[in-house]
Amino acid sequence: MSSDPDPLSSLARGAVAGAIDAAPEKIHALALRILDHRTAFVRDPVALSAVREGRKLQEYRLYKQYLRDPKLLALIRLGLALRRLDGEVDYPERVRRMRVAIHRKFGTSGLRGAEVVESGALREFLGELVSRSSSPADVEDGLTKLLEGVERWTFFLQDPGSTN
């Protein structure tokens, strides 16, 4: 047995010392993951590849001209990835897992925002918005309002035979 009169403080000192000793390696590993863009919450390699490829699409670049919010841009990349996965091997299961991951990370409104992108509805909305707006700020405002209030402005129908 330890001769320390306060075992709780001894335990706390040991825990803090252990955390300090392990921290530099973990911080370094995390920094490398961030630099390599490997902190994604989507783990499926095919889906992850589709998300990464979404950054290269002209449609994404167009949205990026008008949106600055990193969360909204992430939802757009995820929606483009969902669209890109159509026709892939194991499509229904991949999309189901990706939708679950999006829902877990961004909630129902985030999932619905990604689905608006997936369906192409946001692209149609952007076209209308650009033709009717007087400035890029108006376009940004309209896109932001739609994506942040997607549940108020849209409704979703599900095929009764669908598992998604």
Q: How many structural domains are present in the chain?
A: 2
Q: Is the pTM of this model over 0.85?
A: no
Verify that 19 and 100 share a domain, yes or no. Answer: no
Same domain, 35 and 45: no
Read off the pLDDT of residues 65-74 as tens digits, 9 standing for 90 and up. Answer: 999 999 999 9
Top pLDDT among 17 and 78 is at: 78
Q: In which domain, by residue range, is 14 found?
A: 7-39
- The model's confidence at residue 45, banded by pLDDT at 50, 70 and 90, is confident
Q: Does 21 share its domain with 62?
A: no
94 to 108, 126, 164: CA distances (angstroms): 18, 28, 10
* Mean pLDDT value of segment 104-125: 91
Residues 6 or more apart in contact with residue 62 via CB below 8 angstroms = 126
pLDDT score, position 151: 77
Identify the band that residue 39 occupies on the pLDDT scale cut at 50, 70 and 90. Answer: very low
CA distance 42 to 40: 5
Is residue 27 located within the same domain as residue 54?
A: no
Residue 10 pLDDT > 90, yes or no? no
Does any domain span residue 158?
Answer: no
Residue 160 domain flag: no
pLDDT at 38 over 70: no
Residue 110 confidence (pLDDT) above 70 = yes
Determine the pLDDT at residue 160: 55
What is the pLDDT confidence band of residue 32, given thresholds at 50, 70 and 90? low
- Answer whether residue 23 is part of any domain: yes
pLDDT at 43: 65
- Residue 47, pLDDT > 60, answer yes
Same domain for 11 and 67?
A: no
Q: Same domain for 20 and 69?
A: no
Same-domain pairing of 20 and 52? no
Give the integer Cα–Cα distance in Å for 150 and 116: 8
Residue 164, domain member (yes or no): no
**Is residue 93 included in any domain, yes or no?**
yes
Indicate whether 86 and 115 sit together in one domain: yes
Q: Are residues 50 and 125 in the same domain?
A: yes
- 100/19 same-domain check: no
73 and 98 within one domain: yes
Q: Which residues contact 16 (CB under 8 A, 6 or more apart)?
A: none
Using a pLDDT cut of 90, give the percent of the chain over it.
30
Where does the pLDDT of residue 61 fall: very low under 50, low under 70, confident under 90, or very high at 90 and above?
Answer: very high
CA distances from 160 to 114, 117, 157, 163, 164 (A): 21, 22, 9, 8, 10
